[in-house]
Each structure stands twice: as structure tokens, then as C-alpha cells.
Structure 1
Amino acid sequence: MSKHIPFETALRRAEVGDVSIFYREAGSREHPTVLLLHGFPASSHQFRHLIPALADCCHMIAPDLPGFGFSTAPEDFNYSFDSLAKTIEAFTDAIGLTRYAIYVFDYGAPVGLRLALARPGAITAIVSQNGNAYEEGLSDGWAQTKAYWANPSPTNREVMRGMLTLEATRWQYTHGARDETQVAPEAYWLDYALMSRPGNADIQLDLIASYASNIGLYPRIHQYFRERQPPLLAVWGANDPFFLPAGAEAFRRDLPKAEVHFLDAGHFALETHGREIADLMRAFLGRHLA
């Protein structure tokens, strides 16, 4: 007889309209729920270590966004951040989530914060790991992307394909890491392989164009922070080439009680500092959700 593995992560699917959402789940539903929202170009795979680390005290749910990971990518889906958020909102309904904390990273931030705007009463707390919500958090590395937003010509769109290569994907994972050997190569190889599926490059380019809408949403997000004062933990890879530490510090402008911690890590801080992030989350969620 095989030995029982505590807090084993279950791999599931939920049908949401035309999208089949793949998700990972662990922990008891009697515990506070944490909805984990991944970034570009990743998937719920990035939470593979965090989920079991907190499943003893939290109900952990990590879906793959449409067009990412092992969720389906319908051809007629509108690949915008509004559509991603509406699909994840419908996903929470499909699996019966009514109140939950959100862990937002990279693309997961505009998705999760749209959920907060749509259903502010559902959000119990926010953990932002390099999930930006302020313009001062945007580094100079966004210059090329901003040129694409200003002029989404075929030429500028073609330039953005450089973000979809294996080398660019590997660089996102390893840049700023204190020790690159701690970054599991299967993480960026998996992302690259999934982006290389037929049609997926255009999905990613559409979402890069749509990211401009997130900047325009910042004032509404700041108003939500000021009015609702959700508990917020910002745990930031300080060496992130995309989202600067100033973006984490800015949360305190609208959320004076926000807890802000910096790690000697890059963009994908979970790859190298998963234990530290789990410990910070455990203490933060214990204070606010117990």
C-alpha cells in the first residue's frame, strides 16, 4: 500500500464557456482560499512548490489563464485582459469560490485586480509578488512595448516576437537571480514549448497590446485601495528588470498598512525564494484571515 502524501496537489479542469480551465488544488475548503494568478509566459506550474507549502493552512487554487499552460486556447476567444478576468471570474463561480485572497504576479495582477473591482466583497486579502499597479513601477525596459502600444503596426508587432524566444524566456527567469543554478530549467522550457504551439504567438502578441489597458485602469485600482483598504502584502524580487521596487513601495500611498518586503531575487522570485515567500504569506494570512 502506498504511503499517503499529505497536501498532495490535485490536477483538475473546469468548463467555463468555450474554455476548459486547467487548475491545481490543494488544502481543505474549510481553510481560507488563496487564488494564485500566474504571469507571462508562465502557468500554474510556477506555483508547484508554493501550493503544498501552504496547503496545511490554506485552500490553494491555481488556474492556468486561457491561452496559457494546459487551459485551452479557443481561436475565437478575445485575448484581452478584460476577457481573461471575466473568464477567471466565471471560473470562481464554476468551482464555488465566493471569498478568497489573491496572489498576483505579472499578468496575474491586472487579472486579479479586475476581479477586485468587479467583486470587492469577495477579496479577503492581496499578495502581490512583482504584480504592478503603479506607473512608477514600470522600468525603462517597457520602452519597446510602449512603442507597440502607441503604434501597433505590423512592423512593431513583429519586433515584439523577440519576447517569445527561448532565450528571452530563460532571461526572464534568470536575470536578477542571486544564483541562476537555483532556477529549474524545465520551468522556462515548459513556457517556451507551450508558447510554440500553433497560433499561440499571436495570442501572446494580442495580450502584449492589451496590456496598455491595464495602465489606464490604475486610477480605479487606486480608488479601490483607498476605499476598501484590503490587507496587502507586497513581496518583491528587487532585481526585477520589468517591475521596479518603486512599484511595491507605491502601495503604501493608498494602503498605509501595506506590508512590503524585498528579496534579492529577479522577476520569478518563487524559483529562488519560494520558502521565504511562503513564510511571509503564512504569517500575513494568519494575521488577517484567521
Structure 2
Amino acid sequence: MTHDDLTTSTHSAEALPTGRKQADDAHSRATAQTHYRYASVGDVNVFYREAGDPAAPTVLLLHGFAASSYMWRDVIEALADSYHVVAPDLPAFGYTEAPERGLYEYTFAGLTKTIDQFTDQLKLDRYAIAVHDYGAPVGWRLALAHPSKVTAIVSQNGNAYEEGLSEGWDPIRAYWNNPTPENREALSDFPTPASIQWQYVEGVSDTSAVAPDAYTLEGAHISRPGMADIQLDLLLDYATNVAKYPEFQAYFREHQPPLLAVWGEHDPFFLPPGAEAWKRDIPEADIRFYDTGHFALETHGDVIIPAIRGFLDKHLKAWQPKP
């Protein structure tokens, strides 16, 4: 064999694995790419972010106030290689298009009904849930309705226990107990851009670590006509979630879902005892605290996201594409 023959043979032998690797890499990039979509669910046009192979285990990401699916952007990217990740904007949040006040049930039961129908339309038969703030009671209601569908739970400051409610809820409790115009007016600063920015930076030791993008985006959304009243309606209805805490806790005790709590310990609304309380109902719950506030992912994503990934890998036996 001549030198030229040897060179040609070597190149040919290398071509197949290289080509296959390029094809695999292209497939992985295409699968992991985040897509931005809408789904018509009744009279709501639900905006959602989706990434990963639909054949993989699904993770349903449910944001809270004042946020949208944007809060999960880095989580989606980190999970999409091995999971099917779906993050909708709840009605009255983000880019989801929903009817004006009075034409849609802006309650947590109403939000849950829409998201439940959304999961049916996307044929999400089984899914882990990752929740934050308002997304938590939506997730708990889904779990109550379909316990066999929920494979695992991640809570980033998503509460389910009375001891998790701080004194910051006192003016809101007054509104729950006596929903007068005066008590509603006392909360008028709650759905404002300034209040939203405060929620992002309160409890954060170095506020320069908080990018302005999220709170600026959410501040713009909440400034839309009619949005403040919708948010005050939801704030009033949050009392129904607290009333259902015993039902949520019974679900935890009975079904023992794998649960990871990743908690900003300086959250002005949801206190660490609310996370620690899970140990009563789910002794194997993994509870972790971080030196930050309500939006822990904004400042501590570099440590929280690997914790989420490790938890899901452990409990869901992450699907891997065939070679």
C-alpha cells in the first residue's frame, strides 16, 4: 500500500464517525432548541416555551408573581438535552392572551383549569412540576386532580404551609377577611413596576447580581390596561389556596412524591419554615436554602440549576437518545 493509499484509507475511516457525530450534534442542537409557541385553550391563547424531545420525561415549569415563563429560561436550557421541558405563561401573565376581566375566571381554580386543559392538548400524560410562588398552588391543584401524572416536584419558594406565610401577608389577610374597597385600595401599590422591582431585590445582599431584564419585563406587563385589577382579584382569591393547604398536605403524605425545595431564605413573603414543613409530610424531601430572596434563580441559578438537574436525574432516570 502506498503512502497515498494509506492516507485515503485513514480519511475514509474517519469520515463515517465524524459524519455520524455531526449528525448527532445537529440532532441534539435541534432537540435542545427552545421554541416559542401558542396553544388555543378555550378562550385563552396560552404562550409557552418548549424544548427537548417529546419522548423524554416531561418537566412542566409553572412561574409565579411577578414573573412569567421567562424566569425559567436558564433552567430550560440546562434540562433540554435530556428532558422535554414545557413552560407556559399563566393567564394574566407574560405573553399569554386571555379575555378581559369579567370574561374569564381570574381565580386559581380558573388558572388551573386552563393549564390542565393545556397539558391535555399537548398530551402531557406524566410530568414533573417545577413551581414558584403562584405557580405552586396551580401545581398542587393539578396534583390533587391527577396524582398519577405528577412524577416529581421542585419548589423554588412555592409555599404549601401556613408557617411559610410571613407578616408581609397581614394586609392581604385583612383584604381576605374583609374585601372592602378600602382594603383593596390599601394594596394598590402591589401590582406596580416599583413593587415588582422591590420583590426581585429584597433579601438580596448584592443587588448588582440581579439583572434588570426580568423585573423590567414584568413591570411592563403589569402596566397594561386592566391588569392591576386582575392581579388584585387573584390576590384576593389566594385565600382559597391557604384554605386548601390541608388538602395539599394530605396529598404529600399519601403519595410521597419526590420533592426538592430550593429556597431563597430571605424571601419577604415565604419563610424558610414553609419549606422545612415538608419534612413532616415527606420525610425524604430534599430542602435547600440559599442566601437570597424571592427570585432565587436570578442570583443563584449557578448552584440551584445543577441541584434541580441532579434531583431529576436521580428520580426520573433521565431519558437518553439512542445512538
The interval holding the TM-score normalised by the smaller chain is over 0.9
1:206 corresponds to 2:224: no
Instruction: Supply the distance in 1 between the matched residues of 2:236 and 2:39 (Cα, whole angstroms).
Output: 28
CA contact (8 A) 2:43 2:98 kept: no
Instruction: Supply the distance in 1 between the matched residues of 2:150 and 2:41 (Cα, whole angstroms).
Output: 21
Match of 1:170 in 2: 197
Instruction: Supply the distance in 2 between the matched residues of 1:73 and 1:194 (Cα, whole angstroms).
Output: 13
Moved more, 137-146 or 270-279: 270-279
CA drift of 1:133 comes to: 0.1
Aligned 1:155-234 pairs, distance under 5 A: 155-234=182-261
Instruction: Supply the distance in 2 between the matched residues of 1:91 and 1:160 (Cα, whole angstroms).
Output: 31
Instruction: Supply the distance in 1 between the matched residues of 2:205 and 2:74 (Cα, whole angstroms).
Output: 19
Match of 1:94 in 2: 121
Match of 1:109 in 2: 136
Match of 2:47 in 1: 22
Match of 1:246 in 2: 273
TM-score (norm 2): 0.87
Aligned 1:58-137 pairs, distance under 5 A: 58-75=83-100, 76-137=103-164
Deviations 1:97-153 (A, max 9, x none): 000000010000000000000000000000011000000000011111001101111
Which letter maps to 2:183? N
Aligned 1:28-67 pairs, distance under 5 A: 28-67=53-92
1:259 corresponds to 2:286: yes
Match of 1:11 in 2: 36
Identity in percent: 59
Paired residues, what number?
288
Please state whether the residue corresponding to 1:13 is helix, strand or coil.
strand
CA drift of 1:49 comes to: 1.4
Instruction: Supply the distance in 2 between the matched residues of 1:57 and 1:80 (Cα, whole angstroms).
Output: 34
CA drift of 1:284 comes to: 0.7
Instruction: Supply the distance in 2 between the matched residues of 1:264 and 1:193 (Cα, whole angstroms).
Output: 28
Point out the structure with max Rg over C-alpha. 2
CA drift of 1:178 comes to: 2.9
Please state whether the residue corresponding to 1:48 is helix, strand or coil.
helix
Instruction: Supply the distance in 1 between the matched residues of 2:253 and 2:270 (Cα, whole angstroms).
Output: 22
Aligned 1:268-283 pairs, distance under 5 A: 268-283=295-310
Instruction: Supply the distance in 1 between the matched residues of 2:152 and 2:315 (Cα, whole angstroms).
Output: 8
Unaligned 5+ residue runs, structure 2? Answer: 1-24, 318-323
CA contact (8 A) 2:192 2:228 kept: no
Please state whether the residue corresponding to 2:244 is helix, strand or coil.
helix
Which letter maps to 1:171? W
Please state whether the residue corresponding to 2:188 is helix, strand or coil.
helix
Please state whether the residue corresponding to 1:164 is helix, strand or coil.
coil
